[in-house]
Structure 1
């Protein structure tokens, strides 16, 4: 990586991470949303397109909006992208030293944008505790930690991390017993990354509120606000003090043809929509007293 003292730092930057769950399916939502929210740096996950197909689909439209982009995609599965209007330097794809399953999947792309090293990540799901995919997830996260430790001080880790940091980040901890995303080893792997000096800036802004970023399509989970917070933006010690707003755009999860994830938005240096953003989390509505079983639970 190029040292950050060789890169001009840009202020007043809006950074977004969004698992779009197929960029091809989400074009009617994505482009109007970019025009509405006007982010400077956009981290996308689950693009599900090879790089040439992504470029053919969105290259002109993104260029018209002033975005350069870096891609690491594959057909049908995974895929990450990084869009920037504040520079896109020292692009790196993948996570050095990370395992494959069995091949190296398209799960990480990083670049220096406006003087900050930005990582767009789609962490492996894990599938089932103690499965081979779960072990792959933990090994992948350990390699990511090594990359971040060796990287520049000014950094943002953005993406679908596929870990709910605490029990407060799921609608009902009991519903997730025996599931991935909430196990102690996964949370410990995330804490090891945060121990490098990274701050969970959305939770810092909303310490006690019910704030989710993902709701299963099935069983009316979104309408009952039965979700998880697994999409994160982690800011390094040097970048975190610049955060003026950090919020989740629930409106992008509403309407026709949404992703099952909502965008996470962080404003550095200035907050054009106010210090907590325009979208206040809804009042807690855990779907009544009846216990809810996860759609994927056996």
Structure 2
């Protein structure tokens, strides 16, 4: 079972790229972030023609998350995090796909540090980590996949010193991510590549992708029950280099059935 996450940076504008990716890699469950489309503009029909059922939480111009399942529709278990109003920013949706609970997240960026946006990011992460604790306690196979907007360590960024003041690289957030790992969540990419340089995001300027001047901010965290089924993980880098790409590459994990 392949579970993938892809920050598409606009689902309508990137739809041809996303459909090509689905056709070529055929993931079984897909988390999409940064839809930048209200609910009524989500291209559910195009995904259905491609063989995927979908649930989604859209937002006009910004944010937005969706969960796709190949050959079926995900069974929705939650939209928005506990404690959030229905009018909250569209950043979390959760559903069951083939016996695995998949949480799709798009965390706030939070820049600049010291601002209301950064405070909102910290508050969002408190709610997210509380939900993660609940899911971990369930003992079920769970995958929390998406754009975390956290660079976990110096090994996850090209030239770390240039990012010390960025909201993606603050000690409180890195410590929170490390606390999830200590609690029992397994970082799928680091399970596969414990020491290698591996990035998931490259800016659209200064030839960043060609220079491999990237960041690792898209993560798939596996509960212990899911981690027991781990087979492989990786980044579909080729799609970052195609025409009109997102600034993120798709990331995936493969689990035993």
Q: State the aligned residue count.
A: 253
Matches within 5 A, 1:135-284: 135-151=119-135, 152-153=138-139, 154-269=141-256
Q: Is the 8 A contact 1:15 1:267 kept in 2?
A: yes
Matches within 5 A, 1:38-77: 38-54=26-42, 58-77=43-62
Once residues 73 and 114 of structure 1 are traced to their aligned partners in structure 2, the CA distance between those partners, rounded to angstroms, is 24
Q: State TM-score, norm by structure 1.
A: 0.81
Shift of 1:255: 2.3
Match of 2:67 in 1: 82
Shift of 1:91: 3.0
Once residues 193 and 97 of structure 1 are traced to their aligned partners in structure 2, the CA distance between those partners, rounded to angstroms, is 20
CA RMSD, 1 decimal = 1.6
SS of equivalent residue, structure 1 residue 219 = coil
Q: Deviations over 1:64-102 (max 9, x none)?
A: 2332111111110000000012552243111112589xx
Shift of 1:61: 2.3
2:106 is the counterpart of 1:122: yes
The answer for unaligned runs of 5 or more in structure 1 is 1-12, 271-298
Q: Deviations over 1:115-144 (max 9, x none)?
A: 111011000001112211111111111111
Shift of 1:159: 0.2
SS of equivalent residue, structure 1 residue 112 = strand
Once residues 71 and 163 of structure 1 are traced to their aligned partners in structure 2, the CA distance between those partners, rounded to angstroms, is 23
Match of 2:89 in 1: 105
The answer for unaligned runs of 5 or more in structure 2 is none
SS of equivalent residue, structure 1 residue 238 = helix
206-215 or 185-194: which moved more? Answer: 185-194
Q: Is the 8 A contact 1:87 1:114 kept in 2?
A: no
SS of equivalent residue, structure 1 residue 222 = helix
Once residues 87 and 69 of structure 1 are traced to their aligned partners in structure 2, the CA distance between those partners, rounded to angstroms, is 6
Once residues 229 and 98 of structure 1 are traced to their aligned partners in structure 2, the CA distance between those partners, rounded to angstroms, is 27
* Higher share of residues assigned helix: 2
Q: State TM-score, norm by structure 2.
A: 0.94
Taking structure 1 as reference, are residues 98 and 184 closer, same or farther at Cα in structure 2, changes over 3 Å only? farther
235-244 or 60-69: which moved more? Answer: 60-69
Larger Cα Rg: Structure 1 or Structure 2? 1
Q: Is the 8 A contact 1:170 1:227 kept in 2?
A: yes
Q: Is the 8 A contact 2:7 2:146 kept in 1?
A: yes
Q: Deviations over 1:181-228 (max 9, x none)?
A: 111001112223333321101011111111000011011111111010
| Runs of 4+ displaced beyond 6 Å | none
